Amino acid sequence: MDVQSIKNRFGIIGHSPALNYALQVAAQVANTDLTVLIVGESGVGKEVFSQIIHAMSARKHNPFIAVNCGAIPEGTIDSELFGHEKGSFTGAVDSRKGYFETVNGGTLFMDEIAEMPLGTQARLLRVLEAGEFIRVGSSKVQKTDVRVIAATNKDLLTATHNAKFREDLYYRLNTVPIRVPALRERREDIILLFRKFAVDFAEKYKASPIQLDEQARQLLIDYPWPGNVRELKNMAEQISVLSQDKLLSSEDVRRFLPEHRENRLPAITSRSQASQGGQDFMNERDILYKLFFDMKKDVTELKKMFVEIVQHQPAHGTVMPTETMLHELDHEPSLQRDQAMVKPMIQPTTTSVLLPQNIIQDHVEVEESLNLMDMEKDLIEKALRKHKGKRKDAASDLGISERTLYRKLKEYNIDD
């Protein structure tokens, strides 16, 4: 079956090359028993691809069940997937079959696979490798013949590096990867999809379908669609129900679109990053904490140097001018970076050292940049020098991920 036939059969709208390639891979792998991993952002239609694979396979007359791993509580997911015996845990008043037993001979679609607990991942790997599982509370090994199609909107390879997903399970699931493109990557399909949804909702609500003028169409094409096809469908339904006019201008459409601002502030205060689970924001904060701890150590070294200078003065009380001492301190690489931040922590800012038989009146005040981004850049460069350009070691020393460090290198144009 060619790609166009698949689109007609399953009601798929679009001519994007990336979409066509994904459908082609799904059709080629459908008639095998290979495990498939469908990757794509939330709302792109990953479940539709699992249905296509099942419907075009030899298992099409057997059961198909879609399971959302992120929606099942951690304490019951083993029971849901593998079943349990009576009395195996509180509330287990009867024996129960799990999905792998119920779907025997069919296809199990496991969405949000990245949310699966590590213990359950080990049991799933056993099913994929040997076709065997054990019910909760039982010691009897059972056989099953289930094809698994997994899906995720997260980077599983990164999750394996962070010990949040088993590496062996990742490579077992990733036998055949299918990447479903985001809607912003197939902008030529946006207007086609909108028209399809508008006609469907017009029939549903027994009204005339809405239409868009040229500027309104361009507005939809330029919008980034973070919610992908699901967001476009929801917006089309809103307009169909709430709009008084059937021909909409760009101003009419803009009322139904949420504000989308691209935050260009430094990463350490970026709300956009903080909204993404807070992970990147925490990494930036960790850099600042590292900076301040390192600076505190330098202050301690500064105090020790002053004490040593005092102790090594000649017996007759010869005084070393304060300018000279500060000149020597200025040649300490770590202090050159943080003098401006150290200064507010030492009171008074005017340096005055009491030595035997003399009081130094000379003083020098040092003014340097207080820009946090400059200090952050300098700290990253210092870490790279310390570890001879090894990004992994430098990122570990900074307390951030290697991915965040790579982004910082590009942001600050640092050549490691």
Q: How confident is the model at residue 289 (pLDDT cuts 50, 70, 90)?
A: low
The domain locations on the chain are 3-181, 185-254, 267-416
What local confidence, expressed as pLDDT, does residue 283 receive? 58
Mean pLDDT value of segment 266-286: 47
Q: For residue 334, count CB atoms less than 10 angstroms from its CB and return exposed for 0-12, middle for 13-18, buried for 19 or more.
A: middle
Cα angle for residues 3, 104, 152 (degrees, 5° grid) = 50
The answer on pLDDT for 92 being more than 90 is no
What local confidence, expressed as pLDDT, does residue 290 receive? 66
Distance from first CA to last CA of the chain, Å, rounded?
A: 51
What local confidence, expressed as pLDDT, does residue 287 receive? 67
pLDDT in tens, 11-51: 999 999 999 999 999 999 999 999 999 999 999 999 999 99
3-state helix, strand, coil in the chain (%, to 5): 55, 10, 40
Best CA proximity match to 112, nearest among 19, 38, 22, 29: 38
Q: How confident is the model at residue 304 (pLDDT cuts 50, 70, 90)?
A: confident
Q: How confident is the model at residue 405 (pLDDT cuts 50, 70, 90)?
A: confident
Q: How confident is the model at residue 388 (pLDDT cuts 50, 70, 90)?
A: confident
pLDDT in tens, 217-235: 999 999 999 999 999 999 9
Distance CA(17)–CA(248), nearest Å, equals 30
Structural element, H or E, at residue 338: helix 333-342
Please give the radius of gyration of the chain, using alpha carbons only, rounded to the nearest integer.
31
What local confidence, expressed as pLDDT, does residue 340 receive? 45
Mean per-residue pLDDT of the chain? 81
Cross-sheet strand order for the sheet of 147-152: 64-68, 107-111, 147-152, 36-39, 176-179
Q: For residue 109, count CB atoms less than 10 angstroms from its CB and return exposed for 0-12, middle for 13-18, buried for 19 or more.
A: buried
Percent of the chain topping pLDDT 90: 56
Of the candidate ranges 57-66, 147-156, 252-261, the one whose mean pLDDT is the lowest? 252-261
pTM for the full model? 0.62
Q: How confident is the model at residue 312 (pLDDT cuts 50, 70, 90)?
A: low
User: Could you tell me the fold of the domain covering 3-181?
Assistant: Rossmann fold (3.40.50)
Distance CA(93)–CA(170), nearest Å, equals 35
Q: What is the CATH number of domain 185-254?
A: 1.10.8.60
What local confidence, expressed as pLDDT, does residue 286 receive? 62
Q: How confident is the model at residue 335 (pLDDT cuts 50, 70, 90)?
A: very low
What local confidence, expressed as pLDDT, does residue 266 receive? 42
Q: How confident is the model at residue 161 (pLDDT cuts 50, 70, 90)?
A: very high
| 186 or 413, higher pLDDT | 186
The answer on pLDDT for 7 being more than 80 is yes
Residue 77 CB neighbours (<10 A): 22
Distance CA(224)–CA(190), nearest Å, equals 11
| 186 or 287, higher pLDDT | 186
Best CA proximity match to 408, nearest among 386, 370, 379: 379
Best CA proximity match to 175, nearest among 128, 124, 217: 128
As given in the structure block, the two tokens for residue 247 are: 């021909």
The answer on pLDDT for 348 being more than 60 is no
The answer on pLDDT for 115 being more than 70 is yes
Mean pLDDT value of segment 363-377: 61
What local confidence, expressed as pLDDT, does residue 264 receive? 39
| 139 or 337, higher pLDDT | 139
pLDDT in tens, 49-60: 999 999 999 999
The answer on pLDDT for 212 being more than 70 is yes
Residue 365 CB neighbours (<10 A): 9
Of the candidate ranges 8-12, 130-134, 180-184, 393-397, the one whose mean pLDDT is the lowest? 393-397
Mean pLDDT value of segment 387-403: 84
What local confidence, expressed as pLDDT, does residue 303 receive? 74
What local confidence, expressed as pLDDT, does residue 150 receive? 97
Cα angle for residues 118, 122, 124 (degrees, 5° grid) = 110
Distance CA(379)–CA(341), nearest Å, equals 13
Among 45-59, 80-94, 285-299, 365-379, which range has the highest average pLDDT? 45-59
Q: Give DSSP secondary structure letters for 102-160.
A: HTTTSEEEEESGGGS-HHHHHHHHHHHHHSEEE-BT---EEE---EEEEEESS-HHHHH
